[in-house]
Protein backbone atom coordinates (compact mmCIF):
# COMPACT_ATOMS: atom_id res chain seq x y z
CA UNK A 1 0.00 0.00 0.00
CA UNK A 2 1.36 3.44 -0.99
CA UNK A 3 1.77 6.05 1.74
CA UNK A 4 -0.08 9.26 1.08
CA UNK A 5 2.34 12.02 0.20
CA UNK A 6 2.36 15.30 2.15
CA UNK A 7 0.18 17.99 0.67
CA UNK A 8 -1.83 15.67 -1.58
CA UNK A 9 -5.48 15.12 -0.58
CA UNK A 10 -6.12 11.37 -0.70
CA UNK A 11 -9.15 9.82 -2.28
CA UNK A 12 -11.73 8.64 0.22
CA UNK A 13 -11.00 4.98 -0.51
CA UNK A 14 -7.33 5.32 -0.02
CA UNK A 15 -7.66 7.42 3.05
CA UNK A 16 -10.00 4.94 4.64
CA UNK A 17 -7.65 2.08 4.05
CA UNK A 18 -4.80 4.10 5.49
CA UNK A 19 -6.81 5.08 8.52
CA UNK A 20 -7.01 1.46 9.50
CA UNK A 21 -3.45 0.70 8.50
CA UNK A 22 -1.41 0.36 11.75
CA UNK A 23 1.79 0.81 9.79
CA UNK A 24 1.14 4.46 8.86
CA UNK A 25 0.04 6.33 11.96
CA UNK A 26 2.15 9.37 11.06
CA UNK A 27 0.51 9.82 7.69
CA UNK A 28 -2.83 9.38 9.26
CA UNK A 29 -2.20 12.15 11.80
CA UNK A 30 -1.17 14.41 8.97
CA UNK A 31 -4.16 13.85 6.71
CA UNK A 32 -7.15 12.83 8.72
CA UNK A 33 -9.13 15.70 10.17
CA UNK A 34 -11.01 13.53 12.67
CA UNK A 35 -8.26 12.12 14.88
CA UNK A 36 -6.45 15.46 14.96
CA UNK A 37 -9.56 17.08 16.43
CA UNK A 38 -10.35 14.24 18.78
CA UNK A 39 -6.76 14.72 19.94
CA UNK A 40 -7.85 17.32 22.44
CA UNK A 41 -9.38 14.62 24.64
CA UNK A 42 -7.10 11.83 23.55
CA UNK A 43 -3.96 13.84 24.24
CA UNK A 44 -4.83 13.95 27.93
CA UNK A 45 -4.76 10.18 28.16
CA UNK A 46 -1.68 9.74 26.01
CA UNK A 47 1.51 11.09 27.57
CA UNK A 48 3.17 13.61 25.29
CA UNK A 49 -0.09 14.04 23.40
CA UNK A 50 0.89 11.69 20.66
CA UNK A 51 0.02 8.11 19.74
CA UNK A 52 2.95 6.16 18.52
CA UNK A 53 3.32 2.48 17.69
CA UNK A 54 0.67 0.14 16.30
CA UNK A 55 -0.78 -0.94 19.67
CA UNK A 56 -1.08 2.63 20.95
CA UNK A 57 -2.70 3.59 17.67
CA UNK A 58 -5.33 0.88 18.06
CA UNK A 59 -6.07 2.06 21.60
CA UNK A 60 -6.32 5.64 20.38
CA UNK A 61 -8.75 4.67 17.63
CA UNK A 62 -10.89 2.65 20.02
CA UNK A 63 -11.02 5.48 22.56
CA UNK A 64 -11.80 7.99 19.85
CA UNK A 65 -14.62 5.82 18.54
CA UNK A 66 -15.96 5.45 22.09
CA UNK A 67 -15.84 9.19 22.60
CA UNK A 68 -17.69 9.74 19.33
CA UNK A 69 -20.40 7.24 20.17
CA UNK A 70 -20.85 8.85 23.61
CA UNK A 71 -21.13 12.25 22.00
CA UNK A 72 -23.64 10.88 19.46
CA UNK A 73 -25.69 9.36 22.28
CA UNK A 74 -25.81 12.72 24.07
CA UNK A 75 -26.92 14.49 20.89
CA UNK A 76 -29.55 11.84 20.25
CA UNK A 77 -30.92 12.22 23.79
CA UNK A 78 -31.00 16.02 23.44
CA UNK A 79 -32.75 15.79 20.09
CA UNK A 80 -35.33 13.36 21.39
CA UNK A 81 -35.93 15.57 24.47
CA UNK A 82 -36.46 18.53 22.16
CA UNK A 83 -38.96 16.65 19.96
CA UNK A 84 -40.94 15.23 22.90
CA UNK A 85 -40.92 18.53 24.74
CA UNK A 86 -42.23 20.20 21.61
CA UNK A 87 -45.03 17.74 21.00
CA UNK A 88 -45.95 17.82 24.69
CA UNK A 89 -46.17 21.60 24.50
CA UNK A 90 -48.44 21.39 21.42
CA UNK A 91 -50.69 18.85 23.10
CA UNK A 92 -50.61 20.57 26.53
CA UNK A 93 -53.75 20.03 28.55
CA UNK A 94 -54.91 17.08 26.47
CA UNK A 95 -55.91 13.90 28.25
CA UNK A 96 -53.20 11.26 28.32
CA UNK A 97 -53.59 8.86 25.40
CA UNK A 98 -53.63 5.31 26.75
CA UNK A 99 -51.07 2.85 25.41
CA UNK A 100 -52.49 0.41 22.91
CA UNK A 101 -52.49 -3.24 23.82
CA UNK A 102 -50.50 -4.74 21.00
CA UNK A 103 -51.87 -8.17 21.74
CA UNK A 104 -55.22 -7.16 20.31
CA UNK A 105 -53.65 -6.30 16.94
CA UNK A 106 -53.54 -8.95 14.23
CA UNK A 107 -50.47 -11.18 14.75
CA UNK A 108 -49.10 -10.32 11.28
CA UNK A 109 -48.28 -6.83 12.51
CA UNK A 110 -44.70 -6.75 13.82
CA UNK A 111 -44.68 -5.63 17.44
CA UNK A 112 -42.03 -3.01 16.90
CA UNK A 113 -41.62 0.19 18.85
CA UNK A 114 -41.78 2.21 15.65
CA UNK A 115 -45.37 1.04 15.07
CA UNK A 116 -46.43 1.93 18.57
CA UNK A 117 -45.11 5.42 18.29
CA UNK A 118 -46.79 5.98 14.93
CA UNK A 119 -50.16 4.85 16.32
CA UNK A 120 -49.65 7.08 19.34
CA UNK A 121 -48.63 10.00 17.18
CA UNK A 122 -51.56 9.62 14.80
CA UNK A 123 -54.06 9.18 17.65
CA UNK A 124 -52.64 12.29 19.35
CA UNK A 125 -53.32 14.22 16.17
CA UNK A 126 -56.93 13.03 16.31
CA UNK A 127 -57.21 14.04 19.97
CA UNK A 128 -55.72 17.43 19.15
CA UNK A 129 -58.13 17.95 16.25
CA UNK A 130 -61.06 16.90 18.48
CA UNK A 131 -60.05 19.37 21.17
CA UNK A 132 -59.79 22.27 18.73
CA UNK A 133 -63.09 21.26 17.14
CA UNK A 134 -64.85 20.93 20.51
CA UNK A 135 -63.55 24.31 21.64
CA UNK A 136 -64.70 25.94 18.41
CA UNK A 137 -68.20 24.52 18.60
CA UNK A 138 -68.46 24.60 22.40
CA UNK A 139 -69.81 21.04 22.10
CA UNK A 140 -68.49 19.78 25.42
CA UNK A 141 -70.42 22.43 27.32
CA UNK A 142 -73.72 21.04 26.12
CA UNK A 143 -72.66 17.46 26.61
CA UNK A 144 -71.67 18.20 30.20
CA UNK A 145 -74.94 19.86 31.13
CA UNK A 146 -73.72 23.46 30.98
CA UNK A 147 -76.89 24.83 29.37
CA UNK A 148 -80.26 26.39 30.12
CA UNK A 149 -82.94 23.68 30.42
CA UNK A 150 -85.47 23.98 27.58
CA UNK A 151 -89.14 23.13 27.39
CA UNK A 152 -89.48 20.48 24.68
CA UNK A 153 -92.91 19.43 23.38
CA UNK A 154 -93.18 16.01 21.72
CA UNK A 155 -95.98 15.09 19.31
CA UNK A 156 -96.61 11.36 19.13
CA UNK A 157 -96.47 8.91 21.98
CA UNK A 158 -95.23 5.94 19.98
CA UNK A 159 -91.85 4.26 20.20
CA UNK A 160 -89.83 7.12 18.77
CA UNK A 161 -91.73 9.93 20.52
CA UNK A 162 -91.12 8.11 23.82
CA UNK A 163 -87.43 7.62 23.02
CA UNK A 164 -86.99 11.31 22.13
CA UNK A 165 -88.80 12.46 25.27
CA UNK A 166 -86.66 10.15 27.39
CA UNK A 167 -83.46 11.30 25.72
CA UNK A 168 -84.05 15.03 26.24
CA UNK A 169 -85.35 14.49 29.79
CA UNK A 170 -82.21 12.50 30.67
CA UNK A 171 -80.21 15.50 29.51
CA UNK A 172 -82.05 17.72 32.00
CA UNK A 173 -84.67 19.36 29.76
CA UNK A 174 -88.42 19.45 30.42
CA UNK A 175 -90.18 16.98 28.12
CA UNK A 176 -93.95 17.33 27.61
CA UNK A 177 -95.60 14.62 25.51
CA UNK A 178 -98.82 15.60 23.73
CA UNK A 179 -100.99 12.47 23.44
CA UNK A 180 -104.55 11.66 22.37
CA UNK A 181 -105.51 9.26 25.12
CA UNK A 182 -106.22 10.60 28.64
CA UNK A 183 -105.87 7.20 30.28
CA UNK A 184 -102.42 6.71 28.73
CA UNK A 185 -101.34 10.13 30.07
CA UNK A 186 -102.62 9.27 33.54
CA UNK A 187 -100.79 5.94 33.53
CA UNK A 188 -97.58 7.50 32.30
CA UNK A 189 -97.58 10.34 34.83
CA UNK A 190 -98.30 7.96 37.68
CA UNK A 191 -96.10 4.97 36.79
CA UNK A 192 -93.45 6.55 34.50
CA UNK A 193 -94.01 3.82 31.93
CA UNK A 194 -95.57 4.12 28.47
CA UNK A 195 -98.28 1.43 28.63
CA UNK A 196 -98.35 0.97 24.83
CA UNK A 197 -94.76 1.24 23.59
CA UNK A 198 -91.38 0.21 25.03
CA UNK A 199 -93.11 -0.94 28.21
CA UNK A 200 -89.93 -2.55 29.52
CA UNK A 201 -88.34 0.87 30.15
CA UNK A 202 -88.88 3.12 33.15
CA UNK A 203 -89.20 6.73 31.98
CA UNK A 204 -87.49 9.72 33.63
CA UNK A 205 -89.74 11.44 36.19
CA UNK A 206 -89.34 14.75 34.34
CA UNK A 207 -91.47 13.57 31.43
CA UNK A 208 -95.00 14.87 31.66
CA UNK A 209 -97.77 13.53 29.42
CA UNK A 210 -100.85 15.60 28.58
CA UNK A 211 -103.74 15.76 26.13
CA UNK A 212 -103.85 19.55 26.41
CA UNK A 213 -102.15 21.16 23.41
CA UNK A 214 -102.13 24.52 25.27
CA UNK A 215 -100.17 23.04 28.19
CA UNK A 216 -97.73 21.25 25.93
CA UNK A 217 -97.04 24.04 23.47
CA UNK A 218 -97.22 27.21 25.55
CA UNK A 219 -93.76 28.79 25.59
CA UNK A 220 -92.09 25.65 24.33
CA UNK A 221 -88.58 26.11 22.95
CA UNK A 222 -88.52 23.15 20.55
CA UNK A 223 -91.22 20.91 19.07
CA UNK A 224 -90.34 17.31 18.19
CA UNK A 225 -92.69 15.79 15.62
CA UNK A 226 -92.82 11.96 15.92
CA UNK A 227 -96.19 11.20 14.34
CA UNK A 228 -96.33 8.83 11.32
CA UNK A 229 -96.14 10.76 8.05
CA UNK A 230 -99.65 9.99 6.81
CA UNK A 231 -101.23 11.41 10.01
CA UNK A 232 -98.88 14.38 10.29
CA UNK A 233 -100.81 17.04 8.35
CA UNK A 234 -103.99 16.46 10.34
CA UNK A 235 -102.18 16.57 13.69
CA UNK A 236 -100.21 19.72 12.85
CA UNK A 237 -103.15 21.64 11.37
CA UNK A 238 -105.08 21.04 14.58
CA UNK A 239 -102.43 22.77 16.71
CA UNK A 240 -101.03 25.31 14.26
CA UNK A 241 -102.26 28.38 16.16
CA UNK A 242 -100.65 27.17 19.38
CA UNK A 243 -97.15 26.52 18.04
CA UNK A 244 -94.97 29.61 18.67
CA UNK A 245 -93.89 31.03 15.29
CA UNK A 246 -90.12 30.96 15.76
CA UNK A 247 -89.87 27.54 17.42
CA UNK A 248 -87.80 24.97 15.51
CA UNK A 249 -89.72 21.84 14.58
CA UNK A 250 -87.70 18.62 14.65
CA UNK A 251 -89.04 16.11 12.10
CA UNK A 252 -88.12 12.51 12.88
CA UNK A 253 -90.82 10.87 10.74
CA UNK A 254 -89.44 9.09 7.67
CA UNK A 255 -91.71 8.97 4.69
CA UNK A 256 -93.52 10.78 1.91
CA UNK A 257 -97.10 12.00 2.09
CA UNK A 258 -99.49 10.00 -0.08
CA UNK A 259 -101.35 12.02 -2.69
CA UNK A 260 -99.26 15.17 -3.06
CA UNK A 261 -95.87 13.47 -2.46
CA UNK A 262 -94.71 15.98 0.14
CA UNK A 263 -91.66 15.48 2.30
CA UNK A 264 -91.81 16.52 5.96
CA UNK A 265 -89.70 19.64 5.29
CA UNK A 266 -92.52 20.93 3.05
CA UNK A 267 -95.47 19.37 4.84
CA UNK A 268 -94.65 20.89 8.26
CA UNK A 269 -94.46 24.58 7.23
CA UNK A 270 -97.56 24.14 5.07
CA UNK A 271 -99.58 22.54 7.86
CA UNK A 272 -98.41 25.12 10.42
CA UNK A 273 -99.07 28.03 8.02
CA UNK A 274 -95.43 29.11 8.00
CA UNK A 275 -93.42 30.45 5.07
CA UNK A 276 -91.55 27.51 3.46
CA UNK A 277 -88.18 29.26 3.79
CA UNK A 278 -88.73 30.29 7.42
CA UNK A 279 -90.22 26.94 8.36
CA UNK A 280 -87.52 26.32 10.96
CA UNK A 281 -87.76 22.59 10.20
CA UNK A 282 -84.84 20.40 11.26
CA UNK A 283 -84.97 16.86 9.90
CA UNK A 284 -83.24 14.42 12.25
CA UNK A 285 -82.47 11.10 10.59
CA UNK A 286 -79.96 8.27 10.60
CA UNK A 287 -79.60 4.78 12.09
CA UNK A 288 -81.52 5.13 15.35
CA UNK A 289 -83.75 2.40 16.76
CA UNK A 290 -85.93 3.79 19.56
CA UNK A 291 -85.16 0.80 21.74
CA UNK A 292 -81.41 1.32 21.53
CA UNK A 293 -81.76 5.00 22.42
CA UNK A 294 -83.73 3.94 25.50
CA UNK A 295 -80.91 1.51 26.27
CA UNK A 296 -78.36 4.36 26.03
CA UNK A 297 -76.51 2.60 23.22
CA UNK A 298 -74.25 4.83 21.10
CA UNK A 299 -76.21 6.44 18.28
CA UNK A 300 -75.25 8.84 15.49
CA UNK A 301 -77.72 10.91 13.51
CA UNK A 302 -77.68 13.90 11.19
CA UNK A 303 -79.64 17.12 11.66
CA UNK A 304 -80.56 18.69 8.33
CA UNK A 305 -81.89 22.21 7.99
CA UNK A 306 -81.79 25.23 5.72
CA UNK A 307 -81.51 27.29 8.92
CA UNK A 308 -78.06 26.89 10.52
CA UNK A 309 -79.34 28.43 13.76
CA UNK A 310 -82.18 25.93 14.04
CA UNK A 311 -79.83 23.02 13.23
CA UNK A 312 -77.38 24.25 15.87
CA UNK A 313 -80.12 24.57 18.50
CA UNK A 314 -81.34 21.04 17.80
CA UNK A 315 -77.82 19.66 17.75
CA UNK A 316 -77.19 21.20 21.19
CA UNK A 317 -80.48 19.83 22.46
CA UNK A 318 -79.82 16.25 21.39
CA UNK A 319 -76.04 15.79 21.65
CA UNK A 320 -74.98 13.69 24.60
CA UNK A 321 -72.17 11.35 25.56
CA UNK A 322 -73.76 8.55 23.60
CA UNK A 323 -75.76 10.53 21.05
CA UNK A 324 -73.81 12.21 18.23
CA UNK A 325 -75.39 14.75 15.92
CA UNK A 326 -73.80 15.82 12.62
CA UNK A 327 -75.25 18.70 10.61
CA UNK A 328 -75.99 19.29 6.94
CA UNK A 329 -78.08 21.61 4.79
CA UNK A 330 -79.02 18.84 2.33
CA UNK A 331 -82.53 18.47 3.74
CA UNK A 332 -83.91 16.85 0.60
CA UNK A 333 -81.13 14.24 0.48
CA UNK A 334 -81.61 13.30 4.13
CA UNK A 335 -85.38 13.04 3.82
CA UNK A 336 -85.47 11.07 0.57
CA UNK A 337 -82.84 8.65 1.88
CA UNK A 338 -84.76 8.15 5.15
CA UNK A 339 -88.03 7.47 3.30
CA UNK A 340 -86.66 5.14 0.62
CA UNK A 341 -84.59 2.96 2.94
CA UNK A 342 -87.86 1.76 4.49
CA UNK A 343 -88.89 0.28 1.12
CA UNK A 344 -85.51 -1.40 0.75
CA UNK A 345 -85.83 -2.78 4.30
CA UNK A 346 -89.06 -4.51 3.24
CA UNK A 347 -87.14 -6.08 0.31
CA UNK A 348 -84.38 -7.19 2.70
CA UNK A 349 -87.00 -8.74 4.98
CA UNK A 350 -88.52 -10.62 2.04
CA UNK A 351 -85.06 -11.95 1.16
CA UNK A 352 -84.68 -13.10 4.78
CA UNK A 353 -88.18 -14.63 4.90
CA UNK A 354 -87.51 -16.57 1.70
CA UNK A 355 -84.20 -17.74 3.19
CA UNK A 356 -82.24 -16.70 0.09
CA UNK A 357 -78.94 -16.47 1.94
CA UNK A 358 -76.29 -13.88 2.67
CA UNK A 359 -74.99 -13.65 -0.92
CA UNK A 360 -78.43 -12.69 -2.16
CA UNK A 361 -79.03 -10.31 0.75
CA UNK A 362 -75.77 -8.44 0.16
CA UNK A 363 -76.40 -8.14 -3.58
CA UNK A 364 -79.95 -6.96 -2.93
CA UNK A 365 -78.90 -4.27 -0.44
CA UNK A 366 -76.13 -3.10 -2.78
CA UNK A 367 -78.56 -2.81 -5.68
CA UNK A 368 -81.21 -1.13 -3.51
CA UNK A 369 -78.63 1.33 -2.22
CA UNK A 370 -77.74 2.25 -5.82
CA UNK A 371 -81.42 2.67 -6.72
CA UNK A 372 -81.96 5.01 -3.76
CA UNK A 373 -78.94 7.02 -4.90
CA UNK A 374 -80.18 7.19 -8.50
CA UNK A 375 -83.61 8.48 -7.53
CA UNK A 376 -82.46 10.80 -4.75
CA UNK A 377 -79.76 12.45 -6.89
CA UNK A 378 -82.23 12.80 -9.78
CA UNK A 379 -84.48 14.65 -7.31
CA UNK A 380 -81.61 16.96 -6.32
CA UNK A 381 -79.93 15.23 -3.35
CA UNK A 382 -76.16 15.35 -2.95
CA UNK A 383 -74.43 11.96 -3.48
CA UNK A 384 -72.37 12.34 -0.29
CA UNK A 385 -75.58 12.57 1.74
CA UNK A 386 -76.58 9.15 0.40
CA UNK A 387 -73.27 7.75 1.58
CA UNK A 388 -73.81 9.23 5.05
CA UNK A 389 -75.82 8.38 8.16
CA UNK A 390 -79.26 9.05 6.69
CA UNK A 391 -78.39 7.00 3.59
CA UNK A 392 -75.99 4.11 3.90
CA UNK A 393 -76.11 4.26 7.73
CA UNK A 394 -79.87 3.79 7.95
CA UNK A 395 -79.92 1.26 5.09
CA UNK A 396 -77.50 -0.97 7.00
CA UNK A 397 -79.51 -0.63 10.21
CA UNK A 398 -82.92 -1.39 8.79
CA UNK A 399 -81.88 -4.03 6.24
CA UNK A 400 -79.82 -6.04 8.74
CA UNK A 401 -81.26 -5.02 12.14
CA UNK A 402 -83.97 -7.31 13.46
CA UNK A 403 -85.65 -4.43 15.32
CA UNK A 404 -86.78 -2.82 12.08
CA UNK A 405 -90.54 -2.94 11.64
CA UNK A 406 -90.27 -2.48 7.87
CA UNK A 407 -87.92 -5.43 7.68
CA UNK A 408 -90.32 -7.48 9.84
CA UNK A 409 -93.13 -6.79 7.36
CA UNK A 410 -90.88 -8.14 4.61
CA UNK A 411 -89.88 -11.21 6.64
CA UNK A 412 -93.51 -12.10 7.20
CA UNK A 413 -94.38 -11.59 3.52
CA UNK A 414 -91.40 -13.72 2.51
CA UNK A 415 -92.48 -16.47 4.89
CA UNK A 416 -95.92 -16.47 3.31
CA UNK A 417 -97.98 -15.05 6.22
CA UNK A 418 -101.46 -13.93 5.08
CA UNK A 419 -101.09 -10.56 3.35
CA UNK A 420 -103.92 -8.78 5.25
CA UNK A 421 -102.54 -9.92 8.62
CA UNK A 422 -99.11 -8.52 7.82
CA UNK A 423 -100.32 -5.17 6.50
CA UNK A 424 -102.82 -4.61 9.31
CA UNK A 425 -100.41 -5.67 12.05
CA UNK A 426 -100.48 -3.34 15.05
CA UNK A 427 -96.79 -3.69 15.82
CA UNK A 428 -95.98 -0.03 15.08
CA UNK A 429 -95.95 1.88 11.83
CA UNK A 430 -94.02 0.52 8.82
CA UNK A 431 -93.69 3.67 6.72
CA UNK A 432 -92.22 1.73 3.77
CA UNK A 433 -95.61 0.19 2.99
CA UNK A 434 -96.92 3.67 2.05
CA UNK A 435 -93.69 4.96 0.55
CA UNK A 436 -93.35 1.97 -1.83
CA UNK A 437 -96.29 3.13 -3.93
CA UNK A 438 -94.86 6.64 -4.20
CA UNK A 439 -91.43 5.39 -5.20
CA UNK A 440 -92.86 3.98 -8.41
CA UNK A 441 -94.53 7.31 -9.21
CA UNK A 442 -91.31 9.18 -8.48
CA UNK A 443 -89.25 6.76 -10.58
CA UNK A 444 -91.63 7.41 -13.46
CA UNK A 445 -91.52 11.17 -12.91
CA UNK A 446 -87.70 11.38 -12.66
CA UNK A 447 -87.12 8.75 -15.39
CA UNK A 448 -85.00 6.30 -13.41
CA UNK A 449 -85.27 2.50 -13.46
CA UNK A 450 -85.52 0.97 -9.99
CA UNK A 451 -86.03 -2.83 -10.33
CA UNK A 452 -85.78 -3.74 -6.61
CA UNK A 453 -87.84 -0.87 -5.20
CA UNK A 454 -90.48 -1.27 -7.94
CA UNK A 455 -90.71 -4.99 -7.14
CA UNK A 456 -91.54 -4.18 -3.51
CA UNK A 457 -94.41 -1.99 -4.71
CA UNK A 458 -95.60 -4.78 -7.03
CA UNK A 459 -95.59 -7.27 -4.14
CA UNK A 460 -97.52 -4.83 -1.94
CA UNK A 461 -100.06 -4.26 -4.75
CA UNK A 462 -100.32 -8.03 -5.00
CA UNK A 463 -99.31 -8.02 -8.65
CA UNK A 464 -96.66 -10.69 -7.96
CA UNK A 465 -95.74 -12.98 -5.09
CA UNK A 466 -92.42 -12.39 -3.28
CA UNK A 467 -90.91 -15.47 -4.97
CA UNK A 468 -92.02 -14.41 -8.45
CA UNK A 469 -90.61 -10.96 -7.87
CA UNK A 470 -87.22 -12.39 -6.90
CA UNK A 471 -86.97 -14.49 -10.07
CA UNK A 472 -88.11 -11.59 -12.24
CA UNK A 473 -85.35 -9.38 -10.85
CA UNK A 474 -82.75 -12.17 -11.19
CA UNK A 475 -83.74 -12.64 -14.85
CA UNK A 476 -82.96 -9.00 -15.70
CA UNK A 477 -79.66 -8.45 -17.57
CA UNK A 478 -76.79 -7.37 -15.30
CA UNK A 479 -76.47 -3.61 -14.90
CA UNK A 480 -73.17 -1.80 -15.10
CA UNK A 481 -71.42 -1.01 -11.83
CA UNK A 482 -70.53 2.51 -12.87
CA UNK A 483 -74.13 3.60 -13.43
Ligand X SMILES: NC(=O)c1ccc[n+]([C@@H]2O[C@H](COP(=O)([O-])OP(=O)(O)OC[C@H]3O[C@@H](n4cnc5c(N)ncnc54)[C@H](O)[C@@H]3O)[C@@H](O)[C@H]2O)c1
Judged by the rule CB under 6 A, the positions of this chain that interact with ligand G3P are 254, 287-289, 342, 345, 394, 397-398, 404-406
Mind giving me the DSSP string for 389-423? IIIIIHHHHHHH-TT-HHHHHHHHHHHT--HHHHH
Q: Which of residues 241-260 bind ligand X (CB under 6 A)?
A: 252-255
State in angstroms the smallest separation of the CB of 421 from ligand X. 17
Count residues contacting ligand X (CB under 6 A)? 25
By the rule CB under 6 A, 182 interacts with ligand X: no
State in angstroms the smallest separation of the CB of 349 from ligand G3P. 9
How many Cα atoms within 13 Å fall on the side-chain side of residue 368? 33
By the rule CB under 6 A, 159 interacts with ligand X: yes
By the rule CB under 6 A, 229 interacts with ligand X: yes
Contact 67, 41 (CB under 8 A): yes
Which member of 171, 245, 341, 467 is catalytic? 341
Q: Which is nearer to ligand X, 159 or 409 (CB)?
A: 159
**Starting from the edge strand earliest in sequence, which strands make up the sheet with 299-304, in order?**
207-210, 174-178, 151-155, 222-225, 249-251, 281-285, 299-304, 323-328
* Residues in Cβ contact with 293 at an 8 Å cutoff, skipping those fewer than 6 apart: 163, 164, 166, 167, 299, 323
State in angstroms the smallest separation of the CB of 253 from ligand G3P. 9
Q: Which is nearer to ligand G3P, 287 or 388 (CB)?
A: 287
Among 28, 222, 227, 247, the residue binding ligand X under the rule CB under 6 A is: 227
If contact means CB under 5 to 8 A according to the sort of partner, which of ligand X, ligand G3P, none does residue 203 touch? none
| Secondary structure of residue 94 in the 3-state scheme | coil
Q: Which residue is nearest to ligand X (CB)?
A: 158
Q: Which is nearer to ligand G3P, 24 or 412 (CB)?
A: 412
User: What's the helix, strand, coil split of the chain in %, to 5?
Assistant: 55, 10, 35
State in angstroms the smallest separation of the CB of 364 from ligand X. 21
State in angstroms the smallest separation of the CB of 256 from ligand X. 11
The rounded distance, in Å, linking the Cα atoms of 326 and 286 is 10
If contact means CB under 5 to 8 A according to the sort of partner, which of ligand G3P, ligand X, none does residue 404 touch? ligand G3P
Contact 258, 230 (CB under 8 A): yes
If contact means CB under 5 to 8 A according to the sort of partner, which of ligand X, ligand G3P, none does residue 397 touch? ligand G3P
Cα separation values, 106 from 61, 102, 214, Å: 47, 9, 60
The rounded distance, in Å, linking the Cα atoms of 349 and 406 is 8
Contact 356, 437 (CB under 8 A): no
Rounded to 5 degrees, φ, ψ at 86 are -65, -50
Residue 131 a catalytic site member: no
Residue 444: count of CB within 10 angstroms of its CB: 11
Q: Which is nearer to ligand X, 42 or 203 (CB)?
A: 203
Q: Which of residues 373-432 bind ligand X (CB under 6 A)?
A: 428-429, 431
Rounded to 5 degrees, φ, ψ at 429 are -70, 140
By the rule CB under 6 A, 158 interacts with ligand X: yes
Query: In terms of C-beta density within 10 A (0-12 exposed, 13-18 middle, 19 or more buried), how is residue 330 classed?
Result: buried
If contact means CB under 5 to 8 A according to the sort of partner, which of ligand G3P, ligand X, none does residue 64 touch? none
Among 10, 25, 35, 156, the residue binding ligand X under the rule CB under 6 A is: 156
CA angle in degrees (0–180, nearest 5) for 368-369-373: 115
x/- mask, ligand X, residues 274-313, rule CB under 6 A, reads --------------xxx-----------------------
Q: Which is nearer to ligand X, 57 or 257 (CB)?
A: 257
If contact means CB under 5 to 8 A according to the sort of partner, which of ligand G3P, ligand X, none does residue 265 touch? none
State in angstroms the smallest separation of the CB of 229 from ligand X. 6
Q: Which is nearer to ligand X, 157 or 368 (CB)?
A: 157
Closest CA to 355 of 417, 415, 397, 408: 415
Catalytic residues: 341
Point out which residues bind ligand X (CB under 6 A). Answer: 156-161, 180, 197, 226-229, 231, 234-235, 252-255, 288-290, 428-429, 431
Amino acid sequence: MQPVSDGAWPSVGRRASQLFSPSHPQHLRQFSVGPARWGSSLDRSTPGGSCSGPRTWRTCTALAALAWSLRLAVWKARFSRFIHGHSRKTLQGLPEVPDLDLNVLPPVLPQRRANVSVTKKVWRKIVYWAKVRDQMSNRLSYINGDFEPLKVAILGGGAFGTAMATHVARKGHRAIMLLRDKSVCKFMNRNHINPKYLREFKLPKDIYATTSAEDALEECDVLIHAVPVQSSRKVLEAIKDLVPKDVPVVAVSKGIELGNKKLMCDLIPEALGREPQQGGVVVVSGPSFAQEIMDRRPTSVVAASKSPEAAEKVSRLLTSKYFRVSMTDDVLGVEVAGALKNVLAIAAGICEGLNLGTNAMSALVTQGNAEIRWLATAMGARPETLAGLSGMGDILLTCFGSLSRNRRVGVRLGKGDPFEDVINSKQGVAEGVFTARLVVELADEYKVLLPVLTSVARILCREVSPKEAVFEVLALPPWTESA
